C-alpha cells in the first residue's frame, strides 16, 4: 500500500513521530512517504501564514495528516494548508496531533476536530483518530507507541 504522511512540524516533534510511523509502515511492507507543509518565516506570531510548500495528496492509497496544537487550536500552517486543498481523494484517512500541554481538552480535541471538518469539507472520507501525543508527558513514549501501533493496524485493515 502506498501511504502519504502529510504534516506540518515547527519544532520537529510531529516530524519525529511521523518518521517512527513511516519506519513501522515500511517494515510491514508498505511504501510510506512523508511530505511536509512548510511556511515562509514569520517575524511575529500574529503575522499571516504564507505557505512555502503545499504537498499534493493524490496518488496514495491511504493518507495520514499530522500537526501540532498551537494556542489551543490546530496550528495555523496546517489550517491554511487544509483550507487551500481543492479536493481530497476518497481513500482512508487517519489523523494525529502533538501538543505541549498535558490534557487533550487543552486544544488537542479542538485541533483534531478542525482537521477532521476541513478534510471532510473537501470530500474526504471520515478520518480515523490515530493518536494524540503530549510532548511533555511522562507517558510520551507510550503515547507514541500506541499511535504507531494504531496506524499500523489502520493500514493493515484498509488494504
CATH number of the domain enclosing 148: 3.40.50.360
- Evaluate if residue 83 carries a pLDDT over 70: yes
> Tell me, what's the pLDDT at 105?
72
Nearest to 131 by CA among 157, 83, 97, 84: 97
Top-confidence residue, 107 or 95: 95
Contacts of 129 (CB under 8 A, 6+ apart): 94, 95, 96, 112, 116
Total tally of structural domains belonging to the chain? 1
Could you tell me the pTM of the whole model?
0.94
Question: β-pairing, 62-70 with 51-53?
Answer: unpaired
| ∠ Cα 152 125 14 (to 5°) | 50
Domain that holds residue 101: 2-158
- Each residue's pLDDT tens digit, 35-77: 999 999 766 667 788 899 999 999 999 999 999 999 899 999 9
Distance CA 130, CA 150 (A): 6
For the beta carbon of residue 140, count every other beta carbon within 10 angstroms: 15
CB 157 within 8 A of CB 142: no
Rounded to the nearest integer, the mean pLDDT of the chain is: 93
Amino acid at each position: 500500500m502506498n501511504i502519504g504522511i502529510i504534516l506540518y512540524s515547527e519544532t520537529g516533534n510531529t516530524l519525529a513521530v511521523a518518521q517512527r510511523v513511516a519506519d513501522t509502515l515500511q517494515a510491514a511492507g508498505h511504501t510510506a512517504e512523508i511530505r511536509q507543509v512548510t511556511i515562509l518565516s514569520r517575524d511575529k506570531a500574529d503575522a499571516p501564514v504564507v505557505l512555502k510548500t503545499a504537498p499534493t495528496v493524490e496518488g496514495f492509497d491511504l493518507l495520514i495528516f499530522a500537526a501540532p496544537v498551537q494556542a489551543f487550536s490546530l496550528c495555523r500552517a496546517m489550517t491554511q494548508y487544509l483550507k487551500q486543498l481543492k479536493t481530497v481523494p476518497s481513500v482512508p484517512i487517519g489523523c494525529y496531533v502533538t501538543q505541549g500541554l498535558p490534557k487533550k481538552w487543552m486544544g488537542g480535541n479542538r485541533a483534531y476536530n478542525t482537521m477532521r471538518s476541513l478534510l471532510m469539507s473537501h470530500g474526504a472520507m471520515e478520518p480515523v483518530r490515530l493518536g494524540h501525543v503530549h510532548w511533555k508527558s511522562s507517558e510520551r513514549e507510550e503515547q507514541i507507541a500506541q499511535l504507531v501501533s494504531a496506524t499500523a493496524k489502520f493500514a493493515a485493515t484498509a488494504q
